[in-house]
Amino acid sequence: MKIIFKRPYVYWILGIFVLYIILNILFSGFYDTIPLVIFYFKTVDWLKLGVSLILTLLIGFFVAVNSVLVYILYKLRKQCSREKVITGVGTAGGLIVGVCPLCVTGLFPLILGLLGISFSFGSLPFQGIEIQFLILGILIWNYFLLKKKMTLL
**How high does pLDDT run on average in the chain?**
79
Which is higher by pLDDT, 41 or 67? Answer: 67
Task: For 88-97, write each residue's pLDDT tens digit.
Answer: 777 777 776 6
| CA gap 142, 83 in Å, rounded | 6
Give the pLDDT score at 42.
85
**How many structural domains compose the chain?**
1
Task: For 139-149, write each residue's pLDDT tens digit.
Answer: 898 888 888 88
Give the pLDDT score at 153.
63
Task: For 13-27, write each residue's pLDDT tens digit.
Answer: 999 999 999 988 887
What value does the mean pLDDT take over residues 78-87?
Answer: 71
Query: Domain residues for 89?
Result: 2-151
Query: pTM of the prediction?
Result: 0.79
Give the pLDDT score at 116.
59
